Chain A
Amino acid sequence: MTAFFIRRIFQMILVVLVSAVATYALLNLAPGGPLAGLRQQQQSARFQITEEDIARIRAYFELDLFLPYRFTRWLIGVPTGPVVIGGNEYFSDLVVGCRKPIESDILNAETGNYEIVITGCKEDVFMKDLVGRRSSRGILLGDFGLSWRILRDRPVSDLLLSRLSKTLQLIGLSTLLSLLIGVPLGVYSAVRQYSRFDYIFTSLAFMGSAMPTFFFGLLMIILFSLVPKEAGWPYVPSGLSESVRDYTIPIIGAVEAGSFKDRSLHILLPTAVLTIVNISFYSRFVRASMLEVMRQDYVRTARAKGLGERVVILKHALRNALIPFITIVVFTLPGLFSGALITESIFAWPGMGRLYLLALGDFDYPVAMAIFFILAILTVIATLMRDFLYTIADPRIRLS
Chain B
Amino acid sequence: MSAAQVASLSPEAVTIEERSPFQIVMTRFRRHRLAMVSLVVMTVIFIITILAPVIAPFEVQELSVNKYFVEWGTVDEETQRVHYLGTDQIGRDYFSRLIYAGRISLTIAIVSVIISELVGIIVGAVSGFFGGWIDSVLMRFVEFMLTIPLLPLLLIISSMLLRNEELIPIPEPVLNFMGNLLLLTPRDARNAVLIILILAGFGWLNAAQLMRGMVLSLREQTFVEASRSLGASNYRIIMRDMIPNAMAPIIVDGSLGLAGFVVLEAALAFLGFGIQDPIPTWGNMLAASQEFMLDRPWLPLVPGLPIFLCSLAFNYIGDGLRDALDPRLKL
How far does the alpha carbon of A65 sit from the alpha carbon of B83 in the complex, in Å?
56
B172 shortest CB reach to chain A, Å: 10
Which applies to chain B's interface (DSSP): helix, strand, loop or mixed?
helix
Contact, CB under 8 Å: B311 / A379:
no
Which A196-221 residues have a C-beta within 8 angstroms of B? Answer: 206-207, 209-215, 218-219, 221
Residues 77 to 124 of chain A near chain B (Cβ within 8 Å): none
| Residue from A32, A342, A371, A380 within 8 A of B271 (CB atoms) | A342
Taken together as a complex, chains A and B put the C-alpha atoms of A342 and B307 apart, in Å, by 16
* B248 CB-CB contact with A under 8 Å: no
Shortest Cβ distance from residue A355 to the other chain B in the assembled complex, whole angstroms: 12
Question: What is the chain B residue whose CB lies nearest that of A216?
Answer: B308
B330 contacts which chain A residues (CB < 8 A)?
288
The reply to whether B273 and A211 form a contact with Cβ atoms under 8 Å apart is no
Q: Which of A15, A19, A218, A342 has the most CB of B within 10 A?
A: A218
Question: Which residues, 117 to 138 on B, are CB-close (under 8 Å) to A?
Answer: none
**Chain A residue contacts of B147, Cβ below 8 A:** 379-380, 382-383
CA distance A360 to B163 in the complex (A): 11
The answer to whether B315 touches A341, judged by C-beta atoms less than 8 angstroms apart, is no
A138 touches B (CB below 8 Å): no
Within 8 A of A (CB), among B245-275: 259, 263, 266-267, 270-273
- What's the Cα separation between A36 and B155 when bound, in Å? 19
User: Does residue B297 face the partner (Cβ distance < 8 Å to A)?
Assistant: yes
A338 near B149 with CB under 8 A, answer: yes
Determine if A243 is an interface residue (Cβ-Cβ < 8 Å). no
Residues A342 and B270 in contact, CB atoms below 8 Å apart: yes
Enumerate chain A residues within 8 angstroms of B23, measured Cβ to Cβ: none
Q: Please, which residues of chain A bring their CB within 8 A of the CB of B315?
A: 206, 209-210
**Is A218 a contact of B156 with CB atoms below 8 Å?**
no
> Chain B CB within 10 Å — which of A19, A214, A357, A376 has the most?
A214
Nearest chain B CB to A386 CB, angstrom units: 10
Q: Is the CB of A30 within 8 A of B297?
A: no
Residues A341 and B271 in contact, CB atoms below 8 Å apart: yes
B266–A214 CB distance below 8 A: yes
A253 part of interface (Cβ distance < 8 Å): no
Within the complex, which residue of B156, B167, B267, B301 is in contact with A212, where a contact is CB–CB below 8 Å?
B267
Interface stretch of the complex, out of B193-201, B216-224, B286-294: B286-294
Q: How far is the CB of B164 from chain A (nearest CB, A)?
A: 5
Number of interface residues, chain B, beta carbon within 8 A = 40
B300: interface (CB < 8 Å): yes
User: Do residues A226 and B307 form an inter-chain contact, with CB atoms below 8 A?
Assistant: no
CA of A212 to CA of B282, assembled, Å: 12
Q: With an 8 A cutoff between CB atoms, is A372 at the interface? A: yes
Specify which of B155, B160, B294 is in contact with A357 (CB 8 Å cutoff): B155
Q: Which of B160, B300, B316 contacts A218 (CB 8 A)?
A: B300
B163 and A215 contact, CB distance less than 8 A: no
Whether B300 lies near A222 (C-beta < 8 A) is: yes
Is there a chain A Cβ closer than 8 Å to B312's Cβ? Answer: yes
Chain A residues, CB < 8 A from B152: 338, 341, 356, 371-372, 375
B290 and A372 contact, CB distance less than 8 A: no
B297-323: CB near A (< 8 Å → 1, else 0) gives: 110110010011001100110010000
Q: Which residue of B lies closest to A335 (CB)?
A: B149
**Given known contacts A31-B164, A218-B286, A222-B297, A210 and B312 CB-to-CB distance under 8 angstroms:** yes
Q: Which chain A residue has the least Cβ–Cβ distance from B152?
A: A338
Inter-chain contacts of B22 with A (CB < 8 A):
none
Residues of B within 8 A of A214 (CB): 266-267, 270, 286
Give Cα A346–Cα B300 distance, bound, in whole angstroms. Answer: 12
Q: Does B157 contact A (CB under 8 A)?
A: yes
Query: Once the chains are docked, how many angstroms separate the CA of A318 from the CA of B290?
Result: 43
Q: What residue in chain A is nearest B160 (Cβ atoms)?
A: A30
Q: Is the CB of A361 within 8 A of B312?
A: no
Neighbouring A residues of B290 by C-beta, 8 Å: 218, 346
A383 to B270, CA, bound (A): 30
Q: Does B144 contact A (CB under 8 A)?
A: yes
A380–B307 alpha-carbon span in the complex (Å): 33
Chain A, Cβ-Cβ closest to B312 = A210
* Interface, chain B (partner A; CB < 8 A): 144, 147-149, 151-153, 155-157, 159-160, 163-164, 167, 259, 263, 266-267, 270-273, 286, 290, 293-294, 297-298, 300-301, 304, 307-308, 311-312, 315-316, 319, 330
Please provide the 10 A-B residue pairs with the shortest distance between their CB atoms, ordered closest to farther: A226-B297, A215-B304, A210-B312, A218-B300, A210-B315, A212-B263, A210-B311, A30-B160, A360-B159, A30-B164
Given A211-B312, A372-B156; 13 other pairs, CB 8 A cutoff: A19-B148, A26-B160, A210-B311, A212-B308, A219-B304, A222-B293, A222-B298, A342-B271, A361-B159, A368-B156, A371-B152, A376-B148, A379-B149
A-B contact pairs, 6 of them (CB 8 A): A30-B163, A210-B259, A215-B286, A218-B293, A226-B294, A356-B155
